[in-house]
Structure 1
């Protein structure tokens, strides 16, 4: 895999991890709303299971955030080490000249 393709794949993974993090945050918010709504209702099963679900999802969110931080850092380092901006410019020049190699 060439450098630009590898960097594009790395960027895609970073964006997918960000989306995953946002999805987990939305789930935590929804669970919190259900917990608040259940305060008046007082359903025993919800009282018992929702806090455990909340904790597991929160733990997953922490894991995702850690992976995202690690991988985004690696992606940034790869970008800088391989001078990706210069490679993109060179590719654009080649494509503009009709040499798409």
Structure 2
């Protein structure tokens, strides 16, 4: 795999991790809303299960955030080490036939 393709794949994975983080955030918020609604309802099953679900999803969200941060650092290091901007410019020049 050439350096530009590898970097493009790293960017794709970064975006996918960001999407995953956003999805998990939405799930945490949705569970929180159900928990609040259940204060008035008082359903015992929801009272028992929702806090554990909330914690598990929140833990996953923390893990995703850690992975995303680490992966972004690796991607940024790869970009600098391999002069991705320069390689992109060379590719544009080559494709233009200049």
Give CA deviations for 1:35-76 in whole Å, capped at 9, x if unaligned. Answer: 000000000000000000000000000000000000000000
| TM-score, length basis structure 1 | 0.96
CA positional deviation for 1:83: 0.3
RMSD: 0.8
- How many residue pairs are counted as aligned between the two chains? 98
What are the ranges of 5 or more consecutive residues in structure 2 without an aligned counterpart? Answer: none
Tell me the equivalent position of 2:45. 45
Aligned equivalents of 2:80, 2:23: Cα separation in 1: 30
CA positional deviation for 1:90: 0.2
Tell me the equivalent position of 1:32. 32
Tell me the equivalent position of 1:73. 73
Give CA deviations for 1:11-42 in whole Å, capped at 9, x if unaligned. Answer: 00000000000000000000000000000000
4+ long deviations beyond 2 Å: none
Aligned equivalents of 1:21, 1:37: Cα separation in 2: 24
CA positional deviation for 1:78: 0.2
